[in-house]
Structure formats: C-alpha cells, structure tokens
Structure 1
Amino acid sequence: MFATATAARASGLADEVEYWASTLLANGYAMIPHAIDRSILDGFHDDLHPHFEAAPFCQGPFYGETTKRFGRVLIRSPHAAAFAQHELILGIARRVLLHEMCNTILLNLTQAIEIHPGAPLQFPHRDQDMFGGPKGGRDYMMNVMWALDDFTDENGATRVWPGSNHSDPHGMLPEADAISAVMPRGSAFLFLGSALHSGGENRSDRPRRGVIFSYCQGWLRPWENPWLAYPPDIARHFNDELAALAGYRQHLPSLGNFEGQCPSVLLHGEVPRHLRFTDALRADQMDMVRQYQREHGSLAVA
C-alpha cells in the first residue's frame, strides 16, 4: 500500500520534506500523486513526443528490445527544468543523500522510457550496483520516476520490493513480494538506489511513457556523463541551480574543479588562459588550516 500526499499534508515545505524522506528511508520508495502542474506536464509530454517517435528500440535483454529510451532530457524540453528543480523533490534528495562528508548532489541521469506492448518484466536490480563502494550503509542515489501516462498494472508500471533497501544489498527477493507503482499521470514515484525494482510487463495495447530524474551524491561519477550531455555552450543557458545539478560546481574540498576554480567559471563570459587557483574547502578544513597557520606561521608550498 503506497503512502500518498493526502496522508500527511504538512503546514510547510520542511515538514513535507521530512515526511516523504522518512517514508522513503523506511520503505525504499514513496509515491507523490499529482506532483507537477498539469500545464507543465502537458507541455513536457508534447515536447518529448517527437523524441519518443524517433528513438530506436533498445538492444539487449536488460534495457529491453521492446522499450525505447533516450537521455539528455534537459535539452529536449524547456519544461524539463521544472522536474529537475522541483522544490519538494530536491528537498527530499538533499535530506536523504547529504551528510557531514557529502555537501552537494548532482543529477545522476535524465532518461525518458517508453515500454511498448508485449514488453516482458525487466530483470530486478538495484541502481546503486553501478557504484563500487560498500553497500548497506548510506544511500548513494535517489530516483524519481515521473508518470507521463497513467501507470497501471497492465501497462508496465514500475515494480518495487518494499523494504528491500534494508535487505541483503546483493540478494534477490520473491516475485510475489513486488508491488506496482500504480499512479495517475503527473505523479512522482521516488525510490532509492538500494531498492530492488524493475520495469513492469506491458500487457496493454498501448505504450507507457515515463521519465526518470535521478540524483546522486556529488562526489560520485554520475551514470549520464553531464559534461558531454550538457557541455558549456549548452549549460551556460541554464539557471545557476540547474547548471550546478548538471555538474558545474565543486564538491568540497575542490572535487571536480577546473583549473583550481569551480567549473561554473566556464559558463560566464570569456575564460582567461590562466586562472587563479582558489581554496574550496569545507569549513572544518579551513578552520584547521588557519589554526595551523596561527601556530606555525605561513604554510610551506607543497
């Protein structure tokens, strides 16, 4: 049984973030119905329609040879930013993924998916498996499947295994334990990278369309290479927050810099041939540096 927005309409954004984040961490998933304005949803769907029409079917049994996919969604529609920067969704992602040693999040991918009639069940998997770090502790990523069509049991709604984020991170679970993310178009289905899930079987006579906006911790390499998907000549047209989500910011200390500066320097005017390396440290690290300087004088150059 899915928890829905009517179960806990809070008085403010912070309360809503805490409710949905707690639900997500407890169950591995949460479903927020009608999470986006209808006019934005319709415009987004219309913008993506020709790309769905043109996209080839996938190759291989995992992606699905009766399924179409394409990425780089931020350049396919001006409405995509409203999904990527959804205030509640970003709040939940930050609440779930950030901690004392992780200070930023990134877009892990944007991917449109169309499951056609006759598509079989997808192989159950955990998206965190692409990362080589230890599993079973903190979560590395959070996915959001946005329903462009109504998701039903018949047309291939995403399946998830409740509580699988707390189970053996390398193990499978009984098929009977899976539930389908049945939801109206415009709803957001959130699930952790540690949650076992799969695409559903499409037993209907029509394709089912959805789009994933996925977020990961900022020190990780995203699934979709953001600097190839959105090079500077494209990203300079993004607003500052969207550009940062697409990779144009540093994860402190200094991770992902360009010539010793935040890569956002590439988005604003002419870039000098030589840039000034500028400290980008966490507050605790800067405190340690300054304390050392007070005790020992100027730092020697490494």
Structure 2
Amino acid sequence: MLARDGWCVFSQAVTPELVAGVESDLDARFQATPLCEGVFYGARTKRFGSLLTRSAGIEKLVMHPLILGLVEQMLLPWCERIALNLTQAIEIHPGALPRLPHRDQDMWQGPKGSIEYLVNVMWPLTPFTRANGGTRLWSGSHFDQDVAVLPENDSLVPTVAPGDALLFLGSTLHGGGGNGSPAPRRGIIISYCLGWLKPFELQWLVYPPQVARRFSPELAALVGYAQHRPNLGNVEGQCPSVLLGDHVPEHLPAIDALRPDQAEAAALFVRSQMGELG
C-alpha cells in the first residue's frame, strides 16, 4: 500500500503503553516550548526535536524493525544505507489552521519522479481525526509530482490512535489539518532519508559524540556515525564511528571505503600501472 497509495497505516505497531510513556516523558517539554513562528510551521503549533535525548522510548520507535524494513525497501534502490532525517514532536492547538499541502522531498533540489528521498512515520500521541487536525494525505499524489495543489475535498485523514504508525512517502502531498476541537493534537514525526543526503535535522550536532557513544552501534550509524560509500561522511579519511571510542588517536590513516565495483576498478588500474612499470 505504501508504494501504491503513497501512504499506509501500520495498526498497533507498538503498545499504547509505550506511547503513553513517551508522551509522559515529553509533557514538560511540550508545556515549556513556545508556539512556532512562521506560516509554514504554523502559528498555533509547537514543535521540538532531539527526541532521542528526551525519552528512552523514542529509540524503540526509531529502530522498529518492521518499519525499518519498509523504509529500506522504499529507499535502498538509491542509496547504500538510510539515515535518520528527523525526530520531532508536534502539538497542534485548538484554532490552528490547516497546514499548506506540501511534499517533504522538496527540501532537496534534486530530480523528482525517479527517486524517493525519504519516508515519514507519524506516531500519534493522541488520536488523530479530521476534527482535531489529523494529517491530510492525497492518495496517489506521488505519481504526479508536478501537481503542487490538489482539491481539499480529495484529501484523506486516516483515523489513527496511539500505538499506530502512519507512514507516507516524501513524494506524497500532505499537511496537518486544522484543529477545530477543544484539545491539542499531539504526535511524533520520525523520518528517514537517503544516506547521502544532508538531513533536515542536523543529526551530528543534535547527537554529538559524547551523546552518540551511548547509542547502540546500529542507532549511532543511523544518526550519521557511518560512512556512505564511497568515502562520504568521513573523519580524517575514516568512518566517523571512530569518534565514539574511549580514545581517538591524534593521527589516523585514511582508509578507503569504496563500493565493490569501485574497489575492483581501482585495483585493476593499479595492477595495470604496476605492469607497465615492470
């Protein structure tokens, strides 16, 4: 359904109790965070990121194995590894207007229609409905990405509850809804992008080495402490995971991190040169 419609719902992907614990961890931050400024973020909306440092339960959402499998299925044709693009908590307050319909992939000015750049996962902290500002989606809009606006009446608002996961492609037209209810609507957006892109939330500053060294190796790699072959995202010519050790040598040798086809081509060239010298 994700490839067909541009979105899908994974019902009860985690327990409601896990989500309730995450919301409890984030509640004080929701209370203290000011309302956004600007028409895109939404004047009656609160947003904050760095969620892996704010609740232990976030790692379970980020590293959900079935969701990671779906994301990789959609993105790995265009990259060697995926990367974490964003973790953000969102609270849409009563009176908020509908958000501008948009495609998240448009933050990158690459070709559209032939590449998928990211997959979003919305985790509701409170039930999402059309009345309280649930996410509007235009089913099938990923097939015709030159169309910037579609009729509002064509939008769908999936009803999802805590524990459910709403997945949608970066090429899918979407936007938060207007909240006509008396209570705020809370959710978490976790998104994954191609591993060679600059992420929306700058993960290496959000989770510097002193923070990331407490992560599992898999999570550390997802937030950027891994090279994307060939040699992209290195530190002194080495995988940036070297920064997570107890001791970082002052002098490091640069070590190739090439794709197999590149390593073979380079080795063949070296052998040909050695033959000429011989």
TM-score band, normalised by the shorter chain? over 0.9
Matching residue's letter, 1:117: P
Q: How far 1:288 sits from its partner (Å)?
A: 1.3
Matching residue's letter, 1:130: M
CA distance in structure 2 between the partners assigned to 1:299 and 1:82 by the alignment: 56
Matching residue's letter, 1:74: L
Question: Match of 1:72?
Answer: 50
Question: Match of 1:11?
Answer: none
Q: How far 1:143 sits from its partner (Å)?
A: 0.4
**1:161/1:177 contact within 8 Å kept:** yes
Residue 220 of structure 2 aligns to a residue whose secondary structure is helix
CA distance in structure 2 between the partners assigned to 1:150 and 1:296 by the alignment: 65
Deviations 1:80-103 (A, max 9, x none): 10001000110011110012x510
Matching residue's letter, 2:206: A
CA distance in structure 2 between the partners assigned to 1:164 and 1:141 by the alignment: 15
Question: Match of 1:17?
Answer: none
Judging changes above 3 Å, is the alpha-carbon distance between structure 1 residues 83 and 175 closer, same or farther for their aligned structure 2 residues?
same
Picking from 27, 30, 36, the partner of 1:49 is: 27
Judging changes above 3 Å, is the alpha-carbon distance between structure 1 residues 298 and 188 closer, same or farther for their aligned structure 2 residues?
farther
**2:145/2:171 contact within 8 Å kept:** no
**1:169/1:194 contact within 8 Å kept:** no
CA distance in structure 2 between the partners assigned to 1:275 and 1:259 by the alignment: 7
Matching residue's letter, 1:230: Y
1:277 has 2:254 as partner:
yes
Question: Match of 2:146?
Answer: 169
Aligned ranges 1:230-269 → 2 under 5 Å: 230-269=207-246
Deviations 1:193-218 (A, max 9, x none): 10000001111110010000000000
Q: How far 1:268 sits from its partner (Å)?
A: 1.0
**2:16/2:162 contact within 8 Å kept:** no
Residue 211 of structure 1 aligns to a residue whose secondary structure is strand
Deviations 1:231-252 (A, max 9, x none): 1111111111111111111110
CA distance in structure 1 between the partners assigned to 2:99 and 2:17 by the alignment: 31
CA distance in structure 2 between the partners assigned to 1:140 and 1:198 by the alignment: 18
Judging changes above 3 Å, is the alpha-carbon distance between structure 1 residues 299 and 285 closer, same or farther for their aligned structure 2 residues?
farther
Question: Match of 1:19?
Answer: none
Aligned ranges 1:108-257 → 2 under 5 Å: 108-257=85-234
Matching residue's letter, 2:269: Y
TM-score under structure 1 length normalisation = 0.89
Residue 297 of structure 1 aligns to a residue whose secondary structure is helix
Residue 90 of structure 2 aligns to a residue whose secondary structure is strand
TM-score under structure 2 length normalisation = 0.96
RMSD of aligned residue pairs (Cα, Å): 1.5
CA distance in structure 2 between the partners assigned to 1:149 and 1:168 by the alignment: 31
1:63 has 2:44 as partner:
no
Structure having greater relative contact order (Cα 8 Å, sep ≥ 6): 2
Matching residue's letter, 2:196: W
Picking from 70, 77, 81, the partner of 2:59 is: 81
**1:293/1:299 contact within 8 Å kept:** no
CA distance in structure 1 between the partners assigned to 2:185 and 2:276 by the alignment: 60
